[in-house]
Structure 1
């Protein structure tokens, strides 16, 4: 009798296939209660934070009051080493800009921008051709 064995395989989770998991896990909003540079942040906290947290229930929001400091938005992401995330200073910005920058943090992947490792090479020849010192008029050449 031939038995058929079923092998269970655990599939790797790929973000966007099956279920979407937002990379941002925590957002910290830091502001000063009396400083002029925190006016936009205070307005956002008073008028729009409740609605914003209802839109993103999977994200933990923390509000910190630091007297004498400029307002800062800090995002922490899944898989980031030692809770390294992104920070945006929102000093002297109005309520709309604060909300847009917060949306930018929430919708970001958390990865830092890096320069490409390889140089860009073209498949086409240069329009000017290759420069050579022998293309210069002999009267203007450097003489040793």
Structure 2
């Protein structure tokens, strides 16, 4: 059986025809001289090129802001945005946060509905009986 290319990317269900990464843009904001941006500066100089080569589908923007703490912002295909403060982090910590934003879902956290607990006993301890427990001397 010959192998053929995918004709159309499925838009309704991600992963059916091809996987589309939900993260479309990562914006890095840092200060050039502030001490809280040391990790971000080191990351930009050493590791950002490697990340950009491995993820060509993500647009990367870098802005220099004076007197601000370093911040990473991720924009997703559905219009949502997530921001993480990377103040006083090491370059490895900055890398982990960027990868977390790249891999995370753009949806907001939802509370999982809990099912009510059903039991044959009315109580966690079981059914009480006067024959259980220590004997009381009168």
Q: Structures share a fold, TM > 0.5? A: yes
**2:128 equivalent to 1:105:** no
1:24 Cα deviation from its structure 2 partner: 0.1
Show the 5 A alignment for 1:18-57. Answer: 18-57=17-56
Q: 1:106 to 1:121 in 2, by over 3 A?
A: same
1:85-135 Cα deviation digits (max 9, x unpaired): 11100000000000000000011121111223x454112244147xxxxxx
What is the root-mean-square deviation in Å for CA atoms of aligned residues?
A: 2.0
Show the 5 A alignment for 1:1-144. Answer: 13=11, 14-80=13-79, 84-116=80-112, 118-124=113-119, 125=121, 126-128=123-125
1:25 Cα deviation from its structure 2 partner: 0.3
Aligned residues: 117
State the TM-score, normalized to the length of structure 2.
0.78
The 2-side partners of 1:18 and 1:120 are apart by: 34
Are 2:9 and 2:18, in contact at CA under 8 Å, matched by a contact in 1? no
The 2-side partners of 1:79 and 1:21 are apart by: 12
Which consecutive unaligned segments of at least 5 residues does structure 1 have? 1-9, 130-144
The 2-side partners of 1:114 and 1:92 are apart by: 30
